[in-house]
Amino acid sequence: MTIVVPIAWKDGAVEYLDQTKLPAAEVYRTTRDESEIAEAIKTLAIRGAPLIGIAAAYGIVLAMNRIRHVGRETVAMHFEQAHHLLATTRPTAVNLFWALDRMRQVFEQHRSDEIKRLCERLLKEAMAIHQEDAEMCERISEHGEKLLPAGATVLTHCNTGRLATGGRGTALGIIERAWELGALKNVYIAETRPLLQGARLTAWELARRGVPATLITDHTGAFLMQQGRINAVVVGADRIAANGDVANKVGTYSLAIAAHHHGIPFFVAAPSSSIDFETVRGSLIPIEERRVEEITTIAGTTIAPEHATAYAPAFDVTPYQLIAAIVTEHGVVQPPNAASLRSLRSAPSHRERVGVGT
């Protein structure tokens, strides 16, 4: 089966897979407009913390490409407008701001260049962010696969595979690699209400790869643990606070509590770009709230009484004490606390790499 490529730079445009159409249809869209990229991120046509960062970087390039013939005095204004547009799409995933910061640093270093040359430098940086994420996914999968017992049955939540990243994925990359090495027996996929990323996206990805998987409702996981049918839980992260608290798709915290109660290891897989050292604990992470219609309707059909009150956080926060390990491209952080994570700040890191376009 052909490996899915959720985003690509082609002939001066961005081609992306519209994930809102999956699994019914595989629809690719092409744009040269950064506002379409911003809207795609908002509506989850492009989603997954690492992929959002990649898309935003390409969005900056699109914006600057469109103004190649404006006066020098307005270049900075156009950059700031594009940066603001993309930065205000989704508040929780820190990869978005990390990627935009990298693009800003390249812009500031080369803002006096001729515009064509500046655009080339920005594109080179965006492509480097994309490629680096693919490499990080490979290293995460290599480190994480070793944590799983032979013949493991794993539970995962939301989508963390090729649809969410620039490579094979984070948590799903670990799962995929374990399957390739013959170390995986089965995957249980939590459906991931309200937008069903598990049912629509993860089940679709694993089916394409031939990985044995079983779809369950979000609240079946604890029962499977009680029955002794789960060996490990592996999830991704949209932001990791400095103390190791993890913001991830809503429903993650419940699974972590259940896993802790049943003595099942709960692993988080994420690139180091997901670690926000400026946010000291999880309670300070901004949590995106989605439209209530995402809860009160399914596929356009209303399932709740008219005017029902609903609360729709996109994410929740899992305390570091419930997490057995955080897997990054640098290795396994265990225990995942402030002291352990702090050591990553001095490690060679893609977080500090700027000026690739020089």
Catalytic (active-site) positions: 238
**Between vectors from CA 266 to CA 263 and to CA 272, what angle results, nearest 5°?**
155
Burial of 305 (0-12, 13-18, 19+ CB in 10 A): exposed
Full 3-state SS string of the chain:
CCCCCCEEEECCEEEEECHHHCCCCCCEEEECCHHHHHHHHHCCCCCCHHHHHHHHHHHHHHHHHCCCCCCHHHHHHHHHHHHHHHHCCCCCCHHHHHHHHHHHHHHHHHCCCCHHHHHHHHHHHHHHHHHHHHHHHHHHHHHHHCCCCCCEEEEEECCCCCCCCCCCCCHHHHHHHHHHCCCEEEEEEECCCCCCHHHHHHHHHHHHHCCCEEEECCCCHHHHHHCCCCCEEEECCCEEECCCCEEEECCHHHHHHHHHHCCCCEEEECCHHHEECCCCCHHHCCCCECCCHHHHEECCEECCCCCCCCCCECEEEECHHHCCEEEECCEEECCCCHHHHHHHHHCCCHHHCCCCCC
Per the CB < 8 A criterion, the answer to whether 32 and 66 are in contact is: yes
